[in-house]
Amino acid sequence: MSNRRDFIKKTTLGTLAISSVLGVSGFAANHENEETAAEPKEKKQQKPIIISTWNHGLPANKESWKNLKEGKSALDAIEAGMKIPEADPTVRSVGYGGYPDREGKVTLDACIMDHNSNCGSVCFLQGIKHPISVAKKVLQNTPHVMLAGQGALQFALSEGFKEENLLTPESEKDWKKWLEDSKYKPVINIENHDTISMLMLDQDGNLSGGCTTSGAAWKMHGRVGDSPIIGAGLFLDNEVGAAAATGLGEAVIRTAGSAMVVELMRQGKSPFDACKEITERIYNKHKNHKDMEYLQVGFIALNKNGEYAGYSLRSGFNYAVSDDVKGHRMEDAKFKMSWDK
């Protein structure tokens, strides 16, 4: 009997000892794995980098890049770049020389946003060549985000901006031709809603952005699109990324497009996947809509690591990119469908 008790005792102690050793080593191994799994894989930031929409984004990028390299602030660099197409009468969708509304009035929209979520915006502004500069003054010198119409003009004049005629002879000629053919119908023009939107990751790793446009050609007087609306035409969160839109503003507003792109990046999606998903959402909401025949929207996005992308509903969208690796260049965006569909 004593031999049996000794056997059970020794076996029990041995089992406990083995279990204890295995338990401790197993816990240590599991704990080690947990620590390893918890270690984030940090990607190296590619900075600075600037992206902007359409061909007129390239000269804008070059000017912004020059200012950034000279030590100017991100907001100053964005303003300097966007003033280039605003002052170019051959760019018919932005600033001076932009196509007028159906009353023959050139009305402008713009917004700008910094890494601290400070933002300024103007909409339905007439007679001021550089709405991006007025938007920056709204950010810097008022407690507000957006000023509109006559209020925006009064503010601009009080800040020293000069009022001038923005309707060029070429745009006036095209407007009068449109009047003959259109019979004054308030239909969105499919050839001209080419906002310039710009996103920037500066040398300090901070995000900022801006938009400026003269809006859809021949629009109804008083119409405002997505470009000056924070969350629609432009949005950024300095912890996550930035996004901006171009195309038919009504469709972007209906989906809070740029804010949604940023939120998808917050959830872990790449800039490309985020732009694509929101474009698909716009398509699904508009495929039976009266606007579908002429609907085009495009997004650009830039995350904190300097990864970027563009995507559009229909073919033809491109964007400018500037960085230290490849310099200044144009890139074509992927798209869901061609214009013949």
Measured in whole angstroms, the distance separating CA 313 from the mean position of its chain's CA atoms is 16
Q: Is residue 186 reached through a cis peptide bond, with omega within 30 degrees of 0 on the bond before it?
A: no
DSSP state of 210: E
Q: What is the CA radius of gyration of the chain?
A: 27
Place of tokens 């074509």: 332
Name the nearest CA neighbour of 236 among 81, 319, 114.
114
Tokens of 14: 């041995």
CB 109 within 8 A of CB 128: no
> Amino acid identity of 179?
L
Catalytic residues: 195
- Give the helix/strand (H/E) hosting 174: helix 169-182
Tokens of 140: 């810097």
